[in-house]
Amino acid sequence: MRDLPAVFSQVDYCYRLSDGRLIIRKNGPGGGVILYYVRAMSREPSRSDSTSVAIGDPEIMIRIFSSIVGKAVEVEKTRKVWIRDNVTANIDDVFGLGIFVELAATSEEWCVKDNIKRIRTLMLAMQIPKDTIVAKSYSDLIAALPHPPSSNKATPSP
């Protein structure tokens, strides 16, 4: 892993779909990403599939998707990112939830099992107990709160 992390402030607008998740991510002023992913909600390291595309104006996309799919769950976080080879370690400070570690390895289909082993090895090295793995997404955790956190950012209306 590199010595100093890259640090990002991100706001995700999360939409649950029947077969996956759609996230419109605002990466600071003026830019963003649309991310679609499918993964098992599991307490074990597992495979996920995702596709993303950079967008210039996330506000417009948030309004469009909110009018089609419904109100998004907003997830504000500060993300510290370390990358080595094909493994990314994210330390996320999620507004209203706390601090989480996310480990991911990108790979071709034929080496998914090797990467799951690599993630398990990294979890041991980082002393992350298996029973602390959260099977739900940040948006699921926030949506389940009796009083979801208020944001300093205004959510665009559909």
Q: Structural domain boundaries of the chain?
A: 6-143
Give me the chain's average pLDDT, please: 83
User: What distance in Å separates the CA atoms of residue 73 and residue 138, rounded to the nearest whole number?
Assistant: 9
What does the pLDDT look like over 51-98, one tens digit per residue? 899 999 899 999 999 999 999 999 999 999 988 777 888 999 999 999
CA distance 61 to 86: 30
> CA dihedral in degrees (8, 11, 16, 19; nearest 10)?
-30
By the 10 Å C-beta count (0-12 exposed, 13-18 middle, 19+ buried), 72 is classed as buried
| pLDDT in the model for residue 131 | 83
Rounded to an integer, the average pLDDT of 120-148 is 86
Whether the per-residue pLDDT at 30 is higher than 80: the answer is: no
pLDDT at 29: 72
Q: To 10 degrees, the CA torsion angle through 135, 10, 21, 115? A: -60
Assigned superfamily of 6-143: Hypothetical Protein Pfu-838710-001 (2.40.320.10)
Q: Sheet containing 48-55: which strands, arranged edge to edge?
A: 48-55, 32-39, 20-26, 6-17, 73-84, 87-94, 98-105
The stretch 91-118 carries a mean pLDDT of 83
- The pLDDT of 13-35, averaged and rounded, is 89
Which residues are CB-neighbours of 58 under 8 A, at least 6 positions away?
13, 24, 25, 26, 31, 32
**34-44 per-residue burial string, b: 16 or more CB within 10 A, e: under 16:** bbbeeeeeeee
Given a cut of 60, whether residue 2 has pLDDT beyond it is no
* Residue 3's pLDDT band (cuts 50, 70, 90): low
